Structures are given as structure tokens and as C-alpha cells.
């Protein structure tokens, strides 16, 4: 992957915000460590409540406005302060919560290719879905376009699932995610993907 010319990338990005995403700022972020290399994309899946789609609960979770009393499941995550850089709805709509120049709180305890604390040098992308289930064609299309745009602006060298960077602790996006489809869509080498 080679970065685009600066003027091309500048059309897509402003201070880490992607032009084609709907912006909703999350308070859950921090500065990346000095010298951090943003070279990893982490794919997640999320739905709130689990298996229910179409509501605004994910946006509320990332904005710290989720009503913990609105569903019994929410009691189990009450008080969590998390975020991702991006969220892709079932229909392909793209939201952004944290500038990619900043550190979102999506990976937790993690390790990938010799480095711990994957939040430091990664971009987190949540897909609306349930771990293990399938995802929609529109989501793959948006995800591929977003990954290509990220690679034009950042030195992206790897893409992995939450399950790969936190094995045993996380299982998303799970067996229903089509890694081969994403690889074909991007045309990136196999070495950029989980083995």
C-alpha cells in the first residue's frame, strides 16, 4: 500500500476526520503516545441490545448517554466508557466518533505482531452485527472504501479482528465475517490480513 499524494488525501481527511462519515464526537478518547505508528485497522462487531439492529444505542454508548435502565442487558455494561473511530450500520451508513489522529478506546488489553496496547496505533471500526453472524454487502462495501481511504492517509500495514488481537477475551467479528471478500475488495496482499 502506498500513500496517496498529500493533496488527494487532504480531500478526504481533516484533522483525522473522514469526509464521508457522519460525525458525532465521543468524549472517550485520548492522545496517541508520541511516535505512535497508526498502521493497524481493527474490525469489531457490536449491537445493542445484542442481536437488535437499527436503534441509536451504539451511538449513545459511545457518547456516554445510554440509558442503563432501558434494557436488562445494559445493566451488565453499566458505566462503560468506550468508543471506536468508526461504526458501520447494516445499510452501510458510516459514523465517526473519534479523530483517527487520536486514540479511541476500542481494543482493550490486546497484542498484535509484537506490540501490546493496540489502541495506541490502530483505527477501530465497529460493524453493526452480532459476533459469529453474517454481515451485509453494504457493510463490506463501506468497510473496503474506508480501509482504502485510511491507507491513503496513514501507513496502514495490517488489518485484524478484535478476536485476533485479544484471543480468548473477544470473539468479534467472528466466523460470520468474510475476510476473503474484504481482501478481494481491497486487493491487498495476504500478509496484511490475519493468517
Q: Which residues are catalytic?
A: 126
Angstrom distance (rounded) from CA 182 to CA 189: 11
Tell me if 105 sits within 8 A of 29, measured CB to CB: yes
Ordered DSSP codes for 25-93: --S-EEEPPTT----EEEEEEE-SSTT--SSSHHHHHHTT---TTSSGGGGGGTT-----SEEE-TT--
Amino acid at each position: 500500500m502506498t500513500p496517496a499524494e498529500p493533496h488527494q488525501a487532504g480531500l478526504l481527511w481533516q484533522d483525522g476526520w473522514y469526509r464521508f462519515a457522519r460525525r458525532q464526537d465521543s468524549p472517550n478518547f485520548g492522545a496517541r503516545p508520541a511516535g505512535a505508528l497508526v498502521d493497524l485497522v481493527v474490525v469489531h462487531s457490536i449491537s445493542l441490545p445484542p442481536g437488535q439492529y437499527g436503534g441509536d444505542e451504539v451511538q449513545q454508548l459511545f457518547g456516554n448517554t445510554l440509558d442503563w435502565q432501558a434494557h436488562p442487558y445494559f445493566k451488565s455494561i453499566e458505566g462503560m466508557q468506550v468508543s471506536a473511530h468508526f461504526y458501520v450500520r447494516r445499510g452501510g451508513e458510516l459514523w465517526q466518533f473519534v479523530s483517527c489522529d487520536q486514540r479511541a478506546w476500542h481494543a482493550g488489553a490486546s497484542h498484535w505482531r509484537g506490540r501490546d496496547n493496540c489502541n495506541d496505533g490502530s483505527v477501530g471500526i465497529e460493524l453493526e452485527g452480532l459476533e459469529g453472524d453474517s454481515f451485509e454487502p453494504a457493510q463490506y462495501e463501506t468497510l473496503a472504501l474506508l480501509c482504502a481511504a485510511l491507507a491513503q492517509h496513514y501507513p496502514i500495514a495490517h488489518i485484524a479482528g478484535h478476536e485476533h488481537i485479544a484471543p480468548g477475551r473477544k470473539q468479534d467479528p467472528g466466523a460470520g465475517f468474510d475476510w476473503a471478500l474484504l481482501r478481494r475488495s481491497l486487493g491487498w496482499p495476504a500478509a496484511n490480513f490475519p493468517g
